[in-house]
Chains A and B, each alone.
Chain A
Amino acid sequence: MLYVRALIAVIRQPLYLLITTLVAGIVFTFAVWLPSLSLIVIVAKNASLTELLSLMWSLYGAIGSNFTAISASYTTIIAILFGLNVALLTYYIRKMRGGISNANIGSTGAASAGGLVSGIFGIGCAACGTFIFTSVLTLFGIAGVLSYLPFGGEEFGFLGVGLLLYSLYSLSKKITDPMVCPI
């Protein structure tokens, strides 16, 4: 409960709320636009700015049509958790600059990065082999392994959520821990 209070206290500050929102927005946008990046590039060359922006806006609807309910949920959760992680990490680094060591934030940073990476692997239409995880597996000639995974690759999304939650817990704990020298 103490850790949740610490988290809330940080993101109630406008700067950290802004960081959370911006980072979450970027991660979410990246996930939703990922399959359409080449389309966006082509349209940017052939259409007006208004048409391009309208298309990009309409592509946000892909979260409902191009994702399963589960993958849409964890994609949104990953984006928000990653935004919170970056905000908390920024807060921690800024407020405790004097007493901080790389050792203190190393494992937390690794968990954040691991969570994002794992989340990215889980993004997309694993069932239809459209996106990243399948592409990586086929690169190594083992795409068939997807049919043996109970959730067809979405496991990586769940792992991403878990890692980011751990990272958030770890950061909140460090923020609430008193700055003392160990005996």
Chain B
Amino acid sequence: MEETNQKQPNQYLIPVAILIAGVFVAAALYFTNTNSAPVANTGTNQPAVAQQQPQPSGSTDAVRAVTGEDHIKGNPNAPIKIVEYSDFECPFCKRFHNTMNEVMDKYGESGDVAWVYRQFPLEQLHPVKAMAEAVASECAAELGGNDAFWQFADRFMELTPSNNQTDIETVIPQIVKEIGLDQTAFQTCFTSGKYDQHIQDDIDNAVATGGRGTPWSIMIGPDGTTYPINGAQPLAAIEQLIGIAKNSQ
């Protein structure tokens, strides 16, 4: 009788353990495939967007149309566009930046693929610096055009350690000088706050399309089909996807 009582509490331990594991796996699937809760913030120490309002559908179809105001590498009228939402302090964005440069080396000249860069600074993970770097890149674009933006972005990704360890006081002026921008005009732009809303619009669009972290990218095929690319996926996968998008037209 006593032995029976001792066994009772453990009788359901394995099924319960398996059930708990199953629930977590299901939750994992749910969280990674729905627009649950992005971590991005506005860059002004406000609560995260997700905590302020209910989330939109999270469909990649909500990607904002690519216009002349975007930072575009390659043919602006390319049939395939890869819109990347990125954070200059994110180490995986750095990796994906290199991958995308390889993609553009291969598909850019033929005009088949265009790379569109949008801002998605993760303020909660990379406070102050990610936002400041996004502003700096916008100022580089304002003062030197599209080419200056890409020169700034490429050089920044090359020079900096990421994970909020960048010495922005040193690195940003260094790059501004290297790419030949007017340093006084840059400083005026940098402190003006004029790009805060533009960056917020990019963040909002990233969130609206289902982005919860960086790098978050959406490939837009020739027929308008949108493909989500979550994280720093390898070059081989991006090339496969380009092939699929080409064939689907």
Residues in A lying within 8 Å of B, measured CB to CB? 30, 34-39, 42-43, 46-48, 51, 54-55, 58-59, 61-62, 64-66, 68, 101-103, 105-107, 109-110, 112-114, 116-117, 120-121, 123-125, 127-132, 134-136, 138-139, 141, 143-144, 146-147
In the A-B complex, list the 4 residue pairs whose CB atoms are closest, starting with the nearest. Answer: A61-B234, A106-B13, A130-B213, A138-B37
Are B225's CB and A130's CB within 8 A? no
Q: How far is the CB of A38 from chain B (nearest CB, A)?
A: 5
Q: List 12 A-B contacts (CB under 8 A).
A: A39-B229, A42-B225, A43-B244, A61-B235, A113-B17, A113-B18, A127-B163, A128-B87, A129-B213, A130-B214, A130-B230, A135-B36
Interface string of B1-19 (1 = CB under 8 A from A): 0000011001111100110
Task: Report the number of A-B residue pairs with Cβ-Cβ less than 8 Å.
Answer: 199
Assuming the A-B contacts A106-B10, A128-B214, are A47 and B32 also in contact, with contact meaning beta carbons closer than 8 angstroms in the complex? Answer: no
Are B125's CB and A146's CB within 8 A? yes
Q: In the complex, which residues 200-245 of chain B have their Cβ closer than 8 Å to any Cβ of chain A?
A: 210, 212-216, 225-237, 239-241, 243-244
Q: Which of B125, B214, B237 has the most CB of A within 10 A?
A: B237
Interface string of B25-44 (1 = CB under 8 A from A): 10111011100111110000
B20 contacts A by Cβ under 8 Å? yes
Q: How far is the CB of B78 from chain A (nearest CB, A)?
A: 19
Are B17's CB and A131's CB within 8 A? no
Q: Which of B88-96, B104-112, B149-157 contacts A (4 or more CB under 8 A)?
A: B88-96
Chain B contact residues (Cβ within 8 angstroms of A): what range?
Answer: 35 or more
Are A54's CB and B51's CB within 8 A? no
Are B243's CB and A51's CB within 8 A? yes
B197 contacts A by Cβ under 8 Å? no
Q: How far is the CB of B119 from chain A (nearest CB, A)?
A: 14
B247 contacts A by Cβ under 8 Å? yes
Assuming the A-B contacts A127-B163, A128-B91, are A36 and B240 also in contact, with contact meaning beta carbons closer than 8 angstroms in the complex? Answer: no
CA distance A130 to B230 in the complex (A): 8
Knowing that A42-B228, A138-B39, A143-B124 touch, tell me 11 more A-B residue pairs with CB under 8 angstroms: A46-B244, A59-B233, A61-B235, A65-B99, A65-B233, A102-B12, A106-B17, A109-B18, A128-B215, A136-B27, A138-B48
CA distance A10 to B191 in the complex (A): 67
In the complex, what residues of A have CB within 8 A of residue B124's CB? 129, 143-144, 146-147
Are A35's CB and B240's CB within 8 A? no
B248 contacts A by Cβ under 8 Å? yes
What is the interface of chain A mostly: helix, strand, loop, or mixed? Answer: helix
CA distance A103 to B12 in the complex (A): 9
Are B236's CB and A61's CB within 8 A? yes
B50 contacts A by Cβ under 8 Å? yes
In the complex, what residues of A have CB within 8 A of residue B122's CB? 128-129
Are A129's CB and B214's CB within 8 A? yes
CA distance A6 to B237 in the complex (A): 41
CA distance A130 to B31 in the complex (A): 10
Assuming the A-B contacts A54-B240, A102-B14, are A36 and B230 also in contact, with contact meaning beta carbons closer than 8 angstroms in the complex? Answer: yes
In the complex, what residues of A have CB within 8 A of residue B241's CB? 39, 43, 55
Q: How far is the CB of A48 from chain B (nearest CB, A)?
A: 8
Are B21's CB and A47's CB within 8 A? no
CA distance A42 to B226 in the complex (A): 9
Query: Which of B17, B24, B95, B215 is in CB contact (< 8 Å) with A120?
Result: B24
Are B237's CB and A117's CB within 8 A? no
Closest to B95 in A: A65
Are A62's CB and B234's CB within 8 A? yes
CA distance A107 to B236 in the complex (A): 43
Q: How far is the CB of B223 from chain A (nearest CB, A)?
A: 9
In the complex, what residues of B have CB within 8 A of residue A54's CB? 240
In the complex, what residues of B have CB within 8 A of residue A116's CB? 21, 24-25
